[in-house]
Amino acid sequence: MGNSEQGNETFITEFILLGFGTLPELQILLFLLFLVIHIATMAGNILIMALVAADQHLHTPMYFFLGNLSCLETCYTSTILPRLLASLLTGDRTISVTGCFIQYYFFGSLAAAECLLLSVMSYDRYLAIVKPLHYEARMSGRSCLQLTGISWAGGFLSNSISALSISQLTFCGPNSIDHFLCDFIPLVKLSCNDPQLMEILALILSLIILLVPFLLTLMSYICIIATILRIPSTTGRQKAFSTCSSHLIVVTIYYGTLLIAYTFPTDNTLRDFKKVLSVVYTVLTPLVNPLIYTLRNKEVKGALRKVFRKFMLGQW
């Protein structure tokens, strides 16, 4: 099963995602844990989207981008967790080559789009704090739509290059991927082609997709922090910092794990550690983002309280 022969070569028709198969005694526990995380992630991000759409006070550029981030992460986690849950429940860890390519394309595209959107959100905070007089002109409704569209389209277009490159590879065995998702480097290592060119391509794409948005975000926050430090009053500094603290926490968690996972070399000693990091940015980050924005944001908490009060009054 899983192979087809052509001439003297055997070609792979399916992969085995080993995932957490080395822990057979924990499969049910892991299934329940990831199921709860998936439900909480979907509920939290859908709630954020609903609040942003329903509450007039949240119809601002910052919350428009936040709603898009929640939509993106809803899609992002849905490309990974349902397949992982099915494998934990049934023990079937196989995935077709085509299915693996599709998962990689959507996972990689959404990850790239999130990098771009986080940099757009940092630019929004930069304008609000460093250049407040230019904010309304530069963050018009049309500008917000354009920046969001560029983030989504840029993510999918940039990942199309690597997805197309992977689709041209030949796989003739082995077919076991020591991961819980289909990713670029594990697939390249399984191919029968010379991996050197593909690894160079992976490095270039990582620099473009990860480092460029990261550097733009970093530059924005350097300017933001420098501006905040020049505010004379402590209250003013705290108020200015509170408008970007949630986003800064999200950026730190997401980029911290993503950069380590994709820029450090993969070897046997770091493989399990990088798998844990992958869980953080693919599973835990979409879960904690709604919590961070809800618990640390007065406007979102206010909108949530209004919805809760309307619900309670409706019940009574």
pLDDT of 213-222, one tens digit each? 989 999 999 9
> In this model, does residue 311 exceed pLDDT 70?
no
Q: Kindly give, in sequence order, each residue whose CB lies less than 8 Å from that of residue 17, ignoring residues fewer than 6 positions away.
A: 83, 87, 93, 94, 95, 177, 179, 180, 181, 182
For the segment(s) 12-315, the CATH number from 1.25.40.10, 1.20.1630.10, 1.20.1070.10, 1.10.10.10 is 1.20.1070.10
pLDDT digits over 128-175, tens only? 999 989 899 899 989 999 999 999 999 999 888 888 888 888 887 788
Residue 304 or 232, more confident? 232
> In this model, does residue 94 exceed pLDDT 80?
yes
Q: Return mean pLDDT, the chain.
A: 84
Backbone angles phi, psi at 16, to 5 degrees: -115, 115
pLDDT digits over 252-264, tens only? 888 888 777 766 6
Q: Kindly give, in sequence order, each residue whose CB lies less than 8 Å from that of residue 143, ignoring residues fewer than 6 positions away.
A: none
Coarse DSSP helix, strand, coil percentages of the chain, rounded to the nearest 5 percent: 80, 5, 15
How would residue 305 be classed by pLDDT, with cut points 50, 70 and 90? confident
pLDDT digits over 166-191, tens only? 888 888 778 888 888 898 888 888 88
- Across 273-289, average pLDDT: 83
Peptide bond into 174 cis (omega under 30): yes
pLDDT for 45 equals: 93
Residue 159 or 275, more confident? 159
How would residue 33 be classed by pLDDT, with cut points 50, 70 and 90? very high
Q: Kindly give, in sequence order, each residue whose CB lies less than 8 Å from that of residue 254, ignoring residues fewer than 6 positions away.
A: 114, 118, 281, 285
pLDDT for 27 equals: 86
> In this model, does residue 6 exceed pLDDT 70?
no
The string of DSSP letters for 224-248 reads: HHHHHHT-SSHHHHHHHHHTTHHHH
- Across 119-123, average pLDDT: 94
| pTM assigned to the model | 0.88
Q: Kindly give, in sequence order, each residue whose CB lies less than 8 Å from that of residue 121, ignoring residues fewer than 6 positions away.
A: 62, 65, 66, 69, 247
**Does the CA dihedral 207-209-214-219 come out positive or negative?**
positive
Percent of the chain with pLDDT over 90: 35
What are the residue ranges spanned by the domains of the chain? 12-315
Backbone angles phi, psi at 15, to 5 degrees: -110, 160
> In this model, does residue 270 exceed pLDDT 70?
no
pLDDT for 3 equals: 55
> In this model, does residue 1 exceed pLDDT 50?
no
> In this model, does residue 315 exceed pLDDT 60?
no
